[in-house]
Chains A and B, each alone.
Chain A
Amino acid sequence: MSSSAHQLLDPAHLAQLGNYALMARSAVEGFLSGMHRSLVHGIGTEFLQYRDYTPGADLKYLDWKLMARSDRLYTKVYEEETNMNIYLLLDASASMDYQGEKAAVSKFRYACMLAACLAYMASRQGDNVGLFAYNESLCEVIPPGHRGGQLERILQALTRLEPTGPANHAQMLETFGNQLRHRGIVVSLSDMLECEDVLPEQLKHYRLRHCDALALQVLDPDELDLPETGVMRFRDSETGREVISWPDAVRGSYKSQMSDYMATLEASFMRSQVDHLSLTTDESLGYALARYLHHREAMS
């Protein structure tokens, strides 16, 4: 990826773009600009263009009427309609609403930007894309689709979302799993706090339904090593529990426990054969997009 493309995927840069449509288009087009990837052309119902006939091409796509009129051979090219579904699971709990001093955007905003980019990319590739946002209940559900402003619906839903309340991963992911019908890729966007037992297990179930799963964990840099401030009264965003502590005094033990937790979570995802990628909100969106493309290639 070129340096300019890399800058385009910087969250600090993208956060300056007001709406998700512009942001997603800017990020994804920039990301794909050096890859020469194009739409999957082939069998489908949606006519795309004519192409000169080359020997060996399937004769059923030859346009006989055009040949009769112009005495030249053309084959019809259709936009391929795949059966690939992309499910975006977005955690909209209160813990996602945090932005430390080092980050350009909050965790939730970062996750929404990721979701927007993935939706744009999937839509550009002709995949069906859907959104399932939740906290302790369902917030937004947009079933996978391809045409008719599906992308706009998803982007508008992302704009509407506000992170509040605790997250009920177990029940919500089970609810989502019940309506999972077709093969596809499930992308989970969450900070995955206090759910190291639930989330890998649920995503594992999706694999049994011929779905690939990708767990994108979004964290703030402060969550890895605590903010550098004086004595603070920390209040848990979801439970409201308060702890008065001096970060400098507990930073060592905190980082140790956090590291253990991340290792545990990584191990759980590995056992569940779910690809896990941990991102902080000051990192480029490109890592996540690349990982997604990897899965998309593997599924096709």
Chain B
Amino acid sequence: MLSFAQPILLWGLLGLALPLLAHLVNRSRALPLRFPSVRFITPSNLPRDKRRSLRDILLLLLRLGLLALAILALAGPQWTPEQAATPAEKGRERVVLLLDASASMAGWDAWTDAREVVEAELSRNAAGLVLFDEQVLATLPPEGETRHVRQLLDDIEPGQLTGKPAPAIEAALDLLGSEGPRRLVIISDFQGTTWQGAALPAAGEDVAVELQQVGNFTTPNAALLNARAYPASEGMLRVLARVRNDAPEPWDITLSLSTTGDTQSQTLSFAPGQTQTFAFLVPEPENLLGELELQPDAYAADNTYQLWLGMPLPADVLTLLPSVDEPEKLNEVAFVQKALQARRGDMPPSFALSGAAPDFDLAANAPLVEVLYLPGTTAYLDAPQLEQIRAYLEAGGVVLMTPGEAAPRQFRLLRENGLTETAFMGRPGRHGDRREPFRIAPLQPGNPLSGVFDGESAQDLALTELYQYIKLRPSDSADILLETEDGDPLLLRESVGRGQLIISALGFDPSWSDLPLRNAFLPILREVLSQTVEDDTVVELAVGDPLPPELQSQGDPNTALLTSAPGVAALGEKILQVNVSRTESSTQLADLSDLRAQLTRESTRRAAAEPTTRTIQLWPWLALGALVLLLIESALSAPPAATRKVQHA
């Protein structure tokens, strides 16, 4: 069967009238010629040269043929041999349902909606089914019986894994085949984290793609993002849990922490989209396990969090000793050392402090250093040393820095070396009454330190007298841990790569404030560092994630099953903490029009996979014919050697 890739170009065949008109016009036109004298020239009849007329007609036909062939070649003619109708063409539309069974489909009533959509499709047509989460869970061809599809859906529920749609779409396209009318119905909640940015295979323009979005994301949901425990005073453990309110309105969210024989609950008020930290203080349980649980909401899988509640090993703190120009900073180091190494019988040692000269080779010893303490030292470091600190931070290290005499230079160097965007803004003016010191503002709920200070300890913190500090303009990503009553940040924490940079606007010695002399100093310093230092005994994984290579070698092959469900397990010296991936908690939807455009773009893969549909392109032959005609036309229309041109007026 003859068809054209660009049939609209066939209108160009109307242009065949042009050479015809040109021949007609040229035939009756006499060329003007200025001549010196027409005295002896007499008018004559027009020539009747039969040979010339014949040549003209031949030229006309050649030009018409040339033009017609060129237009037809441009229109992209193709010949498809007639074939017997395939069974698929004779039959009805082939339909495949692509059903998302990732963890998020269990929430927001998405699975119920999806079952209804499937049932509606099955009532109209026989349809195949492809079920997927991280991988293709099941495939049923469209030729099968619909009861198999129903049976499968009765047997399978959404799991706890994230969704990866690309392999499933490939499988669905394979089921659809390459002939006849085809339709792919994708049923999913179309979470942005699953669909947006995924490299989806193209179904091609000849496959009708239908996107059925299920689930009601306006139903309120709170997501328990992560949690961790670390030692507190008096043999207690502090548990911090970050919770995000995904509801479109303010919401009071209650979080419970269950340990052996003990359950604590807290309730915080959340603004829409707000993330806050819950803080619990619990004794170390016997089985070292804990479970956090949110109140019931639209999506249950992110409401629980399995947690290991053991004591971590002491963290190594390395002090890069300050310059000899600032001997008073040694005083600060002494206070910090005492605070970090203070021991009581009921409190395990959390930090081991050591000192080193500023030219210490940090790059070589970075894995041994968990906290790098810089008491005003950064002002005296050179570019390579600052580069080493940046690399250390990006690799996951923790740096605590306090201001020295050269605070402006300190922050300028940090900014220039890409360590922070926090800027030095000067020193605050003293109050009119010099006897009135600066004060620390009360901690707000949701502040990571708010659970540490309550009652008398909060009062002790509020009574802290600040004699001087430096004014900072924090970077956008910084968390303010402490601030003055005037709103100036005193202690802030920001992420640099995988690490954390803790910046204090106070020096930790009595010349800046009386904080080092107060009871509040020790918990502030230890809590902030404890919250920041990663406990490398705990390995956090999402359900379905592969084990890290170092852990695979430690256990038997069955250890891979450890990540198949949420839970806490000991694997050698490491603690494996497995929870459902929080990417499935996102309520951001993918742009369906983008997805449709991506799916329906021209499929080169499908075209390559269709060797049976053989189409013969005719344009090269037509182009060749046009070339031959052009050559003949050129030869015929060339003026004979005797023909002379004349000078025209």
Contact = CB atoms under 8 A, between A and B. Distances in A.
A98 B34 contact: yes
B643 interface: yes
Contact of B35 (A96, A230, A236): A236
Nearest to B39: A194
A136 B332 CA distance: 117
Contacts of B593: none
Contact of B47 (A194, A243, A246, A253): A246
Contacts of B40: 253-254, 257-258, 261
A65 B32 CA distance: 76
Given A193-B39, A254-B41, A257-B40, 11 more contacts: A96-B36, A98-B34, A98-B35, A194-B39, A227-B646, A229-B31, A230-B31, A231-B31, A243-B41, A253-B40, A258-B40
A231 B30 contact: yes
Contacts of A248: 47
A243 B43 contact: yes
17 contacts: A96-B36, A98-B647, A101-B645, A229-B31, A229-B646, A231-B30, A231-B46, A232-B30, A233-B31, A234-B33, A235-B33, A235-B649, A236-B36, A236-B39, A245-B43, A253-B40, A257-B40
Contacts of A98: 34-36, 647
A241 B43 contact: no
B431 interface: no
B34 A235 contact: yes
A249 to B, nearest CB: 4
Contacts of B42: 243, 245, 250, 253-254
Interface string B40-56: 11111111000000000
A58 B76 CA distance: 103
Contacts of B644: 101-102, 227-229
B35 A245 contact: no
Interface in A86-110: 95-96, 98-102, 107
B46 A234 contact: no
Given A233-B32, A235-B32, A236-B35, A250 B646 contact: no
A167 B69 CA distance: 57
A244 interface: yes
A249 B30 CA distance: 14
Interface in A257-284: 257-258, 261
B306 to A, nearest CB: 101
Interface of A: 95-96, 98-102, 107, 191, 193-194, 220, 222-223, 226-238, 241-246, 248-250, 253-254, 257-258, 261
Interface string B6-46: 00000000000000000000000011111111111111111
A246 B643 CA distance: 14
B120 interface: no
B642 interface: yes
Which 6 A-B pairs rank lowest in CB-CB distance, beginning with the nearest? A95-B36, A249-B44, A257-B40, A101-B644, A231-B30, A193-B37
Nearest to B47: A246
Residue among A194, A220, A232 having the largest count of chain B Cβ atoms under 10 Å: A232
Given A231-B30, A231-B31, A236 B647 contact: no
Nearest to B644: A101
B647 A100 contact: yes
Residue among B35, B642, B646, B649 having the largest count of chain A Cβ atoms under 10 Å: B35
B47 A231 contact: yes
A104 B512 CA distance: 106
A232 B33 contact: yes
A291 to B, nearest CB: 23
Contacts of B41: 226, 234, 243, 245, 250, 254
Residue among B36, B39, B646 having the largest count of chain A Cβ atoms under 10 Å: B36
A233 B41 CA distance: 11
A220 B36 CA distance: 9
Contacts of B46: 231, 246
A99 B647 CA distance: 7
A253 B35 CA distance: 17
B169 to A, nearest CB: 71
A100 B36 CA distance: 11
Contacts of A230: 30-31, 47
A204 B30 CA distance: 43
Contacts of B35: 98, 222, 234-237
